[in-house]
Amino acid sequence: MRIFKLCASAVALSCLCIGLLAQGPPTDSWPTYHGDYTGRRHSALSGITPENVGGLTKVWTFQTGQNQQIKATPILVHGVIYISLPDNLWAVDAHNGKQLWHYTAPENNAFHIGHRGVAIYKDTVYLTTPDAHLIALNTADGKVRWNVVIADSKRGYWSTNAPLIVGNHVMVGVSGDFDNVPGQLKSIDADTGKTQWIFYSTPPPGLSDPPSGGATGGQMWMTGTYDPELNLVFVGTGNPTPVLNGTVRPGDNPWTCSIVAIHPDTGKLAWGFQASPHDTHDWDAAEVPVLVDGDFNGAPRKMLMQASRNGYFFVLDRTTGKNLVTAPFAAVNWAKGIDKDGRPIPDPEKEPARDGRLVAPNENGATNYRSPSFDPQSGLFLVSAQDSYGIYFFKPEHGEYGWAGADYNLAGKAFLRAIDYQTGKIQWSHPLGDGPAAAGVLTTDTGIAFTGDVPGNAIAVRTSDGTTLWHASIGRMGNAPITYMLDGKQIMLFGGGSSLHAFALP
């Protein structure tokens, strides 16, 4: 009976319309990495309120039995949860946390740093692997339909990416900054596994476009967002390589550390905005580009917001890429101003040097892959941030390949911060502990923000002022929570350590 239900539900999934995905997560599912195409991670569910959130109680736990921390956002479709770790994917019954099936990818020696999640189209679930494969599996039983190579892992690529699906385009990115390899985002046919197009953020061998100044890198390892009206996909790109040796790659090095708008049917660039020109500190701009429609200075705008790893919060007009706001949201000391296009101007005195340079933020960044959330009720953008300092070194003996330098982190403190998108000013700051936190954020219409702190608690705070409302010790969170209605109850689902934990009101 369970198999039949899964098959029927999978067919129904193909009916998920773009409009639904663009307006917020459905109440009974979480069908994509962000829940919808906007990346806002905001739920309209109202069963859990500031008055009753203190009564949240654990209803089940699913243990993966693995050593790695869950960094993936669970996908929920028709009562089945899909959760991944590197080389592993589980289907779990959302009613009770029982395993339905488990798939393990062929053993490989690629970099197993973590995994962000999967994607679903019709009755197929798509999994990327550390050795940069994309595997299509039946949602019903986990059997492999096809397995294709995204990029050559022997050249230094790996993949942690949760794919973004638009139409029949499965868009997957890769990672890799230990080697000098070009950044690429690949679109693969959802049914056949055939490559449709490749977008390069830095030029592949033999080409000079885009004109990166000799830089490689700019990997697109985080899931992008999508505007159906503009028919544009928005993706953040990673740092250039060689990473800390900027001398051998003069200029701004586009499109590394950038936000790029891409046509999903062709892979052509519509526009780009560079968050960190000529980065020499490993500050990817891969963080989620959040899409918000609303007023800006009294006029309606289609906006894109990003809290970037370099410590700056950006608001762009996503129809053109024009900058509207640039403001720091964490400790920064590396820029000497903002240019006419809204980009921070790197201070040459903060370039890595033989005798070291004290730089804020450190290599962990002011934030990272952990997803932010936008609350439309308050107009606040919430991000898990870090104030931090590190020391960066470079000498010619470090060479021109891969990391090409050295650095270490001195200290850092984590905060959940609420940013007014109209001004970029911090409205409140909630301490999360020493060092960087790793959890993303979820907000709800009832004025609650859920995230995780450094000691290993899932927490709920009041969105308007950051006041603590609830907490539960579940182990260090490495993903963002999701919420959904099931059997008449609103469920909160968190990843803690290597397990999933479901909470509900009695």
Whether residue 3 is predicted with pLDDT greater than 80 in this model: the reply is: no
pTM: 0.95
Phi, psi of 13 (to 5 degrees): -60, -35
Share of the chain above pLDDT 90, in %: 93
pLDDT tens digits, 444-464: 999 999 999 999 999 999 999
The pLDDT tens digits of the residues spanning 94-122 come to 999 999 999 999 999 999 999 999 999 99
Mean pLDDT of 191-215: 95
pLDDT of 468 strictly over 90: yes
In our burial notation (b when 16+ CB lie closer than 10 A, e otherwise), range 385-413 reads bbbbebbbbbeeebeeebbbbebeeeebb
Q: Out of 36, 131, 279, 282, pick the active-site residue.
A: 282
Confidence at residue 23, expressed as pLDDT on a 0 to 100 scale: 63
Task: Please say if 252 is a catalytic residue.
Answer: no
156: left (phi over 0), alpha (psi -120 to 50) or beta: left
**Which phi and psi angles does 361 have, rounded to 5°?**
-80, 175
The reported pLDDT for the residue numbered 26 is 85
Q: Tell me the pLDDT band of 22, cut-offs 50, 70 and 90.
A: low
* Res. 7: pLDDT tops 80: no
Q: How far apart are CA 456 and CA 473, in angstroms?
A: 6
Mean pLDDT of 68-81: 97
- pLDDT surpassing 80 at residue 134: yes
Residue 20 has pLDDT above 70, yes or no: no
Structure tokens at 127: 């999994």
327 falls in which pLDDT band (50, 70, 90)?
very high
Tokens 């200075």 label which residue?
297
pLDDT over threshold 50, residue 33: yes
Closest to 77 measured CA to CA, from 143, 122, 18: 122
Encode pLDDT of 163-173 as tens digits.
999 999 999 99
The whole-number pLDDT of residue 11 equals: 36
Average pLDDT, the chain: 94
Identify the burial level of 299 via C-beta atoms within 10 angstroms of its C-beta, where 0-12 means exposed, 13-18 middle and 19 or more buried: exposed
Sheet with 232-236: strands ordered across: 225-227, 232-236, 258-262, 269-274
Position 79 pLDDT exceeds 80:
yes
- Please check the confidence at residue 17 and state whether its pLDDT lies above 50: no
Tell me the mean pLDDT in the region 474-498. Answer: 97
Give yes or no for residue 62 having a pLDDT over 90: yes
Strand partners, 312: 328
Print the SS3 string covering 185-242.
EEEEECCCCCEEEEEECCCCCCCCCCCCCCCEECCCCCCCEEECCCCEEEEECCCEEC
Percent of the chain surpassing pLDDT 70: 95
Return the closest-CA partner of residue 185 out of 309, 175, 177, 105.
175
The answer to whether residue 493 scores a pLDDT higher than 80 is yes
45 close to 445: Cβ distance less than 8 angstroms? yes
Residue 12 clears pLDDT 60, i.e. is over it: no
Judge whether residue 192 has pLDDT over 70.
yes
pLDDT at residue 397 above 70? yes
